[in-house]
Amino acid sequence: MALTTESTIGGYTIKRREPLARLDGAFFELEHERTGARHIHIECPDDNNGFAVFFATPPNDSTGVAHILEHVVLAGSQRLARLATVGPSGWPHVVPVMYTMNDDGSLDFDVDGVKLRNLSSEPRAAMVVDAMGPKRGVAMQGRVELIGPERARLRPERKFVWGI
């Protein structure tokens, strides 16, 4: 079956098709019929076809929390991050931490030892969640509050995203 504009496949409608002569393939822009999500697919004879999926995540406010949630979810299901705190000398202290995400986009994690000492005197911190490599992830900066014995919460104020 030749896929053309307005053809349907797997719940998607093909909105645009462009030949890609250099790849001996085609560019497809599809729209999911039920959700309206857009899907971009690059078809070529190579086993490594490319794709991207775009979907709306309308925020409730302008803080960027919804956007951070989207990127953290897209970065993968792993719950390992790197936390950077500021030590008494002014030098950063970076350690891996396991985290959980709250509905408001804040991230909770355990603190003890050096992390606890640093955050008790300087609440500014940064956290990086990546897809276990340098290709995609999100970095967040914000202030940390101690929410319980050896438990803290980062509320992102700034974010930087790459590869997503």
Tell me the pLDDT tens digit for each residue of 83-129: 999 999 989 999 999 998 887 888 999 999 999 999 999 999 999 88
- Determine the Cα–Cα distance for residues 158 and 164; give it in Å rounded to an integer: 17
pLDDT in tens, the chain (164 residues): 567 777 888 888 999 998 888 878 888 888 888 778 788 888 878 766 565 555 555 666 666 666 665 555 544 556 788 999 999 998 999 999 999 888 788 899 999 999 999 999 999 999 988 766 667 778 889 999 999 989 999 999 888 777 65
H or E element, residue 15: strand 12-20
- Determine the Cα–Cα distance for residues 125 and 92; give it in Å rounded to an integer: 9
Phi-psi region of 17 (alpha: psi -120 to 50; beta: other; left: phi over 0): beta
Domain ranges (residues) in the chain: 8-54, 65-162
pLDDT score for 163: 65
Q: What is the DSSP letter of 60?
A: S
Asked if residues 56 and 49 have their Cβ atoms less than 8 Å apart, the reply is no
Asked if residues 59 and 53 have their Cβ atoms less than 8 Å apart, the reply is no
pLDDT score for 120: 93
Q: Tokens 């911190």 label which residue?
A: 125
Rounded to 5°, angle at Cα 54 from 49 and 55: 145
H or E element, residue 84: strand 80-86
List, as one string, the DSSP characters of 90-150: S-EEEEEEEEEE-TTS-EEEE--HHHHHHHHH--EEEEEEESSSTTSEEEEEEEEEEEETT
CATH topology of domain 65-162: Pnp Oxidase; Chain A (2.30.110)
**Phi, psi (deg, nearest 5) at residue 38:** -100, 140
